[in-house]
Amino acid sequence: MENARPPSPRSPLLLRSRSGACGLTRRPASPSRQSVPLFSSFSNSAPAALTRSHSAAKHRPQVTDLSATSCCLSKENRKSISCGLPPPDPPANLRKPRTAPSAWALSPGRSPPRSTSAPAQRDARKTKTVFSAWARSPSRSKHSPDQSRAAPVVTAGGKKGGGGGVLGLFRRRKEAAPGEEESHQLRLLTSRLIQWRFANARAVAAVEAARCNAEEKLFYAWLRIYELRNLVAAKRILVQRRKQKMKLPRILRPQLRLLSQWEPHAKKHVEAVATLVRLLGAAAFSLPLVEGAEVREALLSQLECVEHESSAFPVQANSVSLRRCLRSSTEAMTDIAATAGVFYAKVGDIDAMLYELVETIRLEIQGLEELLEMCRSVTSLEMHEVSLRAHMIQAMWELLVHTLNPKSLRLWAALLVIKPRWEHKPRWSPSSLLDQVRIMSGVEAPLRPKRKKVLVDYLVQFRWIVVIFVVLPVSCFIYFRLFLGHVRSAMKSDERRRKEHEENVLKVIKRLKQRDPTKDGLVCTARKPYIAVGMRNVDYKRARHFEVDLSAFRNILEIDKERMIAKVEPLVNMGQITRATIPMNLSLAVVAELDDLTVGGLINGYGIEGSSHLYGLFSDTVVAMEVVLADGRLVRCTKDNEHSDLFYGIPWSQGTLGLMVSAEIKLIPVREYMKVTYTPHRGTLKELAQAYADSFAPRDGDSSRVPDFVETMIYNPTEAVCMTGKYASEAEAKKKGNVINSIGWWFKPWFYQHAQTALQRGEFVEYIPTREYYHRHTRSLYWEGKLILPCADQWWFRWFLGWLMPPKVSLLKATQGEAIRNYYHDMHMIQDLLIPLYKVADALEFCHRETELYPVWLCPHRLFKLPLKTMVHPETGFEDHHRQGDTSFAQMFTDVGLYYAPGPVFRGEEFDGAEVVRKLEEWMIQNHGFQAQYSVSELTEKNFWRMFDASHYEHCRRKYGAIGTFMNVYYKSKKGKKTEKEVQDAEAEAAIVEADHAGED
């Protein structure tokens, strides 16, 4: 062909089928079918050929090669290409007239183009027509489809025409599909956009590479300049040093000549200076010659020698006056020596006297200590004498009952040195003899006769056999199972624990809604009556009741270190939560001492610890609670939301307002150790009470002396040990000289016995790991373990069986019968008296007079002034008295803990425990005190509400529908079994209250 050119290198071709689909590929060049390159203004690379299909390529005419024109583009065109703008058309002189039709027009199925004249073709070029999609390809020149159609078609025979023959008829009938041209044009525009984006990306990458290269070169240039500067500075320093070295010889050379001339005169100069110094000293320290003082001849001769040595400094002193001065000084020195001898003798006498005084004081101290021991012995003997007198009275009473002989009465009175008062009376009373014995004994405590032992005494005495062989092994197994449960709970994810908690809450709500008020009893938990930790048995569960199982609520749901909050379920105990928080150096603000105490019991009841003098009771550290009400609603109560009255009403309510299912409790930062100081005190009970108050509430109000923990144990009426603790770091505890005592080991002495050693050792300090200090009373159950197992505090028991301690309280209660249970109620005391701090001395004297029970545990706590008057509240107007330990927002109270058998029980005397408890309760009511509700109570309902305030509690019961669903708190705390009638009366309480409210409306 005329316009054929040598084949160019293979370039990517955009192939298009008859359906309009296109794609880039490389087609091999063939001699018979060359790819048709067209002019492209969008790229300087080899042009790409665009074909439609195999059939269309057969009829496409050859186009003149314009690829050479790509190198002839103007500078403006290249600039437009680099800026991303569409370049202008090629110059007119580079354009070649198109004589062939467009490829689109020659595709199979198109009608042959009409023959037009040359002028018509020129007019058609001038008109603005729509370019074909093929012609708008990035590799093609801009030509109009109309122009292509107007051009003549060269047939296979080489003739121009519309394609005659049968084949022309078939082609003539095919019409272009509507919208095909536009779709193809859109694809071409998209392809061109992609090409431009690729070109722009390459340009950006090239610029970025150039920029990085420039920055790198600039950095190395700056680094080289910095090195050159350092090199120049070093050279300058070297030059300056050499200049100084050259300058130094020029300065020293003249001076050396002068020094060599001075050397012969140096010795004479030194001698002259020494003489001058000597003469100046003599002139400065000359003594006046008064009262006939004389100077000896030897001294004068020395002075004359000095005068001749240096004529420049003559001696100015008069020799006669100098002689007189020396004589007077000699006489004065003689008198001083005589006086000093006398004084020395007197000092020796005084020293001997002081030594004798020290010995006398030491002997007096020893005598006072012996006197103190004798006083203790006398006190013990007096008590023994009282006991013997009581025994004698009891024996005499038995004799009187049998004989009833007045002569024998006089004989016994003579033996007891008692003047019988009934001689002056016509009728005598044997009780008057007891009064005479009480008067002569000199004690206020009533004399108690001996109590006869019965079978239950022997059962209690030998109960340790059952405890060692049954209770301790089973307790150890239960503790191990609980520990495994806690470990499994800790291994769960927070999401799983939350999901289980929600499921358990729904079960509780569903269970409450299943209750039929007409048939079922009052609601209570499904725990066994003996599982509760406390002396009082849960007697209300022995009557008809409706149980709700809360045993699944044993998980720590969340420990939020940012908010310093621990969200836990009600059956989480103190051992479980300290095991989780102490490794994080966090802890609850108030941690009860015993491991088995649960969060729910401490919130609904009463919880105290050695830090309560700062943070209050355990319920005061609660931030929020989730409670399921009687109607099955789940509410979240806080101090400042719509259920704030319920938040303040739940503490001390014993779970009679709703079922608590979770609680958010305040956390505080702690350290690894507790620095504990043991301070012994001796004196009367009032003096011991004052020493206890001073240990945590300084009278001067110095807050720096307030410890983090405090407790006091009174071991007898005259001796006590105060223990104060402050948090300490591990580094401080392990300093040289500090003592670390890990009291948590099973073979260690019990804590209360270890503290008692301060009475012999004096005050001492030691460091205890924080978690072990929190649970310091767990192994011995304070000192109740001594009663349960009399040999458990011995070293051999602690080494071999101490790891089994402590016995589980629930098992101890489960293995005791009704007789032993009643025995403990009468002959044993578990009481916590909450009284104001300023009345502690009166409480100790009252307890000593009524119980003679020791040791006594003292622990302070704040009772905050709340916006509502709850069941337990401080005294009205306490802030006006400014007593020791009180503040404007809280009154300081003290827990007086009585956990042991009273003194008369140890002595085998009769003791009425119920009567003593009634006296204690009456004393607390009169002195604004409160009784812990877990202990055995003898209060009547009237006295119960005299001790506790019922206004806010009853308001919450009415508002939240607890009446008729949950039992009253007094009914729940009442001693003894609950009869069916009491249950029915409690259930009928709701109807009465509702009727009263209906009448008011």
Per residue, what are the HEC states of 333-389?
HHHHHHHHHHHHHHHHHHHHHHHHHHHHHHHHHHHHHHHHHHHHHHHHHHHHHHHHH
Neighbours of 69 (CB within 10 A): 18
**CB-count exposure of residue 416 (10 Å: 0-12, 13-18, 19+):** middle
- State pTM to two decimals: 0.58
Cα end-to-end distance, the chain, whole Å: 116
Computed over every residue of the chain, the mean pLDDT equals 76
Structure tokens at 36: 């048709």
- Quick one: pLDDT band at residue 248, thresholds 50, 70, 90? confident
Neighbours of 971 (CB within 10 A): 20
Structure tokens at 111: 């009608």
Tell me how far apart the alpha carbons of residues 991 and 980 are, in angstroms, rounded to a whole number: 18
Tell me how far apart the alpha carbons of residues 21 and 183 are, in angstroms, rounded to a whole number: 10
CA 793 vs. chain centroid, Å, equals: 35
Answer yes or no: are the C-beta atoms of 498 and 556 closer than 8 Å: no
* Residue 875: per-residue pLDDT: 93
* Residue 97: per-residue pLDDT: 44
* Residue 368: per-residue pLDDT: 87
* Residue 756: per-residue pLDDT: 94
974 closest CA partner among 945, 953, 952? 945
Answer yes or no: are the C-beta atoms of 960 and 657 closer than 8 Å: yes
**CB-count exposure of residue 772 (10 Å: 0-12, 13-18, 19+):** buried
The SS3 of residue 488 is helix
For residue 67, pLDDT beyond 50: no
* Residue 959: per-residue pLDDT: 92
For residue 432, pLDDT beyond 50: no
- Quick one: pLDDT band at residue 908, thresholds 50, 70, 90? confident
For residue 527, pLDDT beyond 90: no
- Quick one: pLDDT band at residue 652, thresholds 50, 70, 90? very high
**Torsions phi, psi for 989 (to 5 deg):** -60, -35
* Residue 821: per-residue pLDDT: 84
Domain 674-942 sits in CATH at 3.40.462
More confident site: 282 or 489:
489
* Residue 55: per-residue pLDDT: 40
Answer yes or no: are the C-beta atoms of 543 and 977 closer than 8 Å: yes
* Residue 608: per-residue pLDDT: 92
pLDDT tens for each residue of 557-598: 999 999 999 999 999 999 999 999 999 999 999 999 888 899
784 closest CA partner among 452, 463, 537, 448? 463
For residue 101, pLDDT beyond 50: no
Domain 476-669 sits in CATH at 3.30.465.10
For residue 195, pLDDT beyond 90: yes
Lowest mean pLDDT among 112-116, 264-268, 315-319: 112-116
* Residue 972: per-residue pLDDT: 82
Q: What is the mean pLDDT of residues 92-109?
A: 44
For the ranges 8-22, 451-465, 545-559, 764-778, the one whose mean pLDDT is highest = 764-778
- Quick one: pLDDT band at residue 132, thresholds 50, 70, 90? very low
Q: Which residue has the tokens 């105060």?
A: 722
**Torsions phi, psi for 233 (to 5 deg):** -60, -40
The SS3 of residue 897 is strand
Lowest mean pLDDT among 106-115, 386-395, 830-839: 106-115
* Residue 819: per-residue pLDDT: 85
For residue 684, pLDDT beyond 60: yes
Answer yes or no: are the C-beta atoms of 705 and 698 closer than 8 Å: yes
Lowest mean pLDDT among 306-315, 697-706, 835-844: 306-315
Lowest mean pLDDT among 231-235, 270-274, 561-565: 270-274
Phi-psi label, residue 655: left if phi above 0, alpha if psi -120 to 50, beta otherwise: left
Q: What is the mean pLDDT of residues 939-953?
A: 92
* Residue 344: per-residue pLDDT: 77
Structure tokens at 142: 């801009």
Q: What is the CA radius of gyration of the chain?
A: 56
- Quick one: pLDDT band at residue 526, thresholds 50, 70, 90? confident
DSSP letter at 621 equals G
* Residue 177: per-residue pLDDT: 67
Answer yes or no: are the C-beta atoms of 677 and 768 closer than 8 Å: no
Sheet with 719-728: list strands edge to edge: 764-769, 673-682, 719-728, 709-716, 856-864, 890-900, 829-836, 930-931
Q: Which residue has the tokens 């392809």?
A: 191
Tell me how far apart the alpha carbons of residues 649 and 952 are, in angstroms, rounded to a whole number: 7
